[in-house]
Amino acid sequence: MGFSSAWGYWISAWLGNVGYFVLLFGTFGYFFPVFGEGNTPVAIACASVLLWGVHFLILQGIKEAAFVNMITTVAKTVPIVLFIVICTFAFKAHFFTADFFGLNTPKLGSVANQVRSSMLVTVWVFIDIEGASIFSARAEKRTDVGKATIMGFIGVLLVLVLVNVLSLGIMARPDLAALQNPSMAGVLELVGHWGAILISVGLVIPLLGALISWVLLCAEIIFSAARDNTMPSFVRKENAKKVPANALWLTKGLTQAFLLITLFSKGTYLSLIYLATSMILLPYFWSAAYALLVAWRRETYGQEPGQRNKDLLVAAIAVIYAIWLLYAGGLKYVLLSALLYAPGVVLFAKAKRETGQPVFTLVEKLSLRRPWQVHSLRRSAFIRVSSRFDEGRHIT
């Protein structure tokens, strides 16, 4: 379960990078049709060049890459704030209130169905909020980790609500649904062509910064897992700049492979983020379930029953929510994500052998067997136990 959490989280992160590349060059497609929606041969070739450019930038040092990311993070707030201000003044109440619950649009279904069908995109927006904890070992003060997480969550939530709600007051819902990514540019084009250009240009800068931060996160995920022997030892190797070089090479190699797959499958930004989000649903569930287990067993709490009860409640809600997310994500993407979990068994087995442990426990072996094999194994085990009791032996 621990390996699956790290593996799924890692794949989700670099799949998100593939989605970012597609969105980035899809944005360029607004000005240069040769890039299309970001999945044309020219777009994939340019994305590959950028991918390896970012890769070698990070190899020069994490602090240097983080400084570039900080600049782009500040720069991206300008177009977002301008979008919110302009849309506030251009807001039209009759657009916002028309068919408010979407019940007159057959494709949308009930309000509950609308909420369920939008969950993968909503979760995608908040993926990486917990990223501060991944880098906690590199933080000067542990208290900064919690502050960064809460500030990031509140900031993203405000932006998400304002951008979506204000957009519903600018254009009718069917027109919004028909917009090509980046859809914010299409919304702001109503105030003039300059509005679309502003958003498109403004989007390029933060996407470049986001690529750096996500590449850093991808490498740090499996590097952290390798430090406690969940991943093979070769992933732990750092270069002279203290960058997890092997983890970075492995991540970039698979990102490149999926960029090429996107070219042949014509994968879109939306389909990629659906898959990336589906990959992280299982790690979220395992994390919530583990938090519930720790609180239930009273581990690490000592004489703090109040805190334990609070954590128990929060963890229980998180488990229920995580189960609902797996349902809301839909069977299609959950089953597709299983294909990406399967190759992880190679690294899992290698890590186990390096520590001298059996690759699978008895429970894991049972889960891998076919139903009739499990029945046969249980029957033979029952016969062995029964014969030992007949011989008067004690079974521990």
Q: Is residue 370 part of a domain?
A: no
In a domain, 4, yes or no: no
Structure tokens at 390: 């007949």
User: Quick check: 39 and 22 in contact, CB under 8 A?
Assistant: yes
Helix (H, G, I), strand (E, B) or coil at 104: coil
Q: Residue 123 falls within a domain, yes or no?
A: yes
pLDDT tens digits for range 290-345: 999 998 888 877 666 678 888 899 999 999 999 988 888 777 877 888 888 888 88
Q: In which residue are the tokens 């929510």 written?
A: 321
CA atoms within 13 A on the CB side of 377: 12
Domain count, the chain: 1
Q: Is 285 part of a structural domain of the chain?
A: no
- Is 234 among the domain residues? yes
Question: How many Å apart are CA 261 and CA 271, to the nearest integer?
Answer: 13
**From 4-8, 100-104, 391-395, the region with the lowest mean pLDDT:** 391-395
**388 in any annotated domain:** no
CB 337 within 8 A of CB 329: no
- The token duo for 200 is 């498109």
141-174 confidence digits (pLDDT tens): 777 888 888 888 888 889 889 988 888 888 888 7
End-to-end, the C-alpha distance of the chain in Å comes to 26
Instruction: Output b/e per residue, 328-358; b: 16+ Cβ within 10 A.
Output: bbbeebeeebeebeeebeebbeebbeeeeee
CATH code for position 176: 1.20.1740.10
Q: Does the pLDDT value for residue 255 go beyond 70?
A: yes
**Using an 8 Å Cβ cutoff, are 147 and 160 in contact?**
no
310 domain-assigned: no
Q: Give dist(CA 1, CA 7) in Å, integer.
A: 10
Mean pLDDT on 20-41:
83
Q: What are the distances in angstroms from CA 14 to CA 114, 272, 321? A: 28, 11, 24
H-only helix segments in the chain:
2-28, 41-59, 62-90, 93-97, 111-117, 119-126, 131-134, 143-167, 173-177, 183-188, 193-227, 245-265, 269-296, 305-329, 331-341, 344-354, 362-368, 371-390
> Over the chain, what is the mean pLDDT?
79
pLDDT classification of 17: cutoffs 50, 70, 90:
confident
Residue whose entry in the numeric block shows the structure tokens 């609070």: 310
Task: Tell me the range of 267-271, 339-343, 363-367 where mean pLDDT is highest.
Answer: 339-343
Contact yes or no for 222/247 (Cβ under 8 A)? yes
Q: Which domain holds residue 102?
A: 12-271
Question: Mean pLDDT over residues 22-39, rounded?
Answer: 83
Domain membership of residue 216 (yes or no) is yes
Please tell me the distance from the alpha carbon of residue 213 to that of residue 201, in angstroms, as a whole number. Answer: 20
Model confidence pTM above 0.85 = no
